[in-house]
Amino acid sequence: MRDSHNNIERFEMNLARAMACVALFDTGYLNLAPDNFRNIIAISAGDTLYVSEAFLDDPIDFCHGRFLRCFTGNVGKPGVALLMSPSNLVFREPELEKWRQVNHYDFEGQSQNSFQSTSLHISLTGYELALNTGAQGLRDEEVVYVEASVSIHEEGEWVGDIDILSLYKFNDILTAPPSHEFQQLIYEGWLREHVLPAQCAHSEGEKKDRSRWVKVVSIDSWIEYLDTPLKSCVIRAKGNWTARLAFAAAMRGREENALIAAGEICWACVHEVSQQLGLNEDQLVILW
């Protein structure tokens, strides 16, 4: 897009372009096309990590005008390492010997954070692929793709692997308006469709009326989530951005009838959004 007043050509920013700019500015010479950064979750260059903000916020808060955050550290690779998620994601199977821990209590409308022990971890799988930058005579690979698995842990035990970037569509989502001030980023894709409205015009009675559901149960542990009930359920992770991000990505990967609450649950909105998306209302998984 060209600014006719200042004769300056602008382009719409996205994550891949932001990473390409960071790689150039950090090294001073590495001028790579944005296409090389598709599906990259972080850049490790020298003693600095540039991490996609999608990994650092509640899914409904991502993000307020930023694409990347900068941290001191690296992944132990020379040159520039581009971290990417693996394509084969694995989840722990329900464990029959732990059936006593699966309660699936009736949901009575109260919110709570049942996932204080949930954490996200990143680890290298060992798969690497050098990127040909055209440079000759370098002793070490200048740029390398490094596969990095993002996994969920509960009380130190592995639960499953997730692809957080699958929640978002990073194409044409941040623009510079004429005032030269960045507007708040609007996410698109699966996440945008599955987030319930933060505010609505329904009455208090309509918001609380869940009479169309014979029974709704609470999910208060990963064991209960993996042994998914045959009824609609509410995952109670109120105020815990790490757990909510983990569950959102898990629900996306497991292709569930998922909805994500941006505030208090309005059951009229649950019904309306479910109808719009064609979800099975008898087996909804609602993240609160």
Rounded alpha-carbon distances, angstroms, from residue 256 to 79, 230, 248: 40, 12, 10
The yes-or-no verdict on residue 5 having pLDDT over 70 is no
The yes-or-no verdict on residue 170 having pLDDT over 70 is no
Confidence of residue 181 (pLDDT cuts 50, 70, 90): very low
The 10s digit of each residue's pLDDT in 119-134 is 999 999 999 999 877 6
Sheet strands side by side (includes 285-287): 216-219, 232-235, 285-287, 258-260
Query: For residue 97, what is the DSSP state?
Result: G
Average pLDDT over residues 126-153: 81
- With 0-12 CB in 10 A as exposed, 13-18 as middle and 19+ as buried, what is 238? middle
User: 132, 155 in Cβ contact below 8 A?
Assistant: no
pTM across the whole model: 0.85
9 DSSP β-pair partners: 2
172: left (phi over 0), alpha (psi -120 to 50) or beta: left
Residue 179: what pLDDT? 33
Confidence of residue 135 (pLDDT cuts 50, 70, 90): low
Average pLDDT over residues 173-201: 61
Cα-trace Rg, the chain: 21
The yes-or-no verdict on residue 138 having pLDDT over 70 is no
Best CA proximity match to 81, nearest among 39, 35, 40: 40
Strand, helix or coil for residue 118: strand
- With 0-12 CB in 10 A as exposed, 13-18 as middle and 19+ as buried, what is 8? exposed
Residue 184: what pLDDT? 37
User: 10, 16 in Cβ contact below 8 A?
Assistant: no
Average pLDDT over residues 128-148: 76
Average pLDDT over residues 29-44: 91
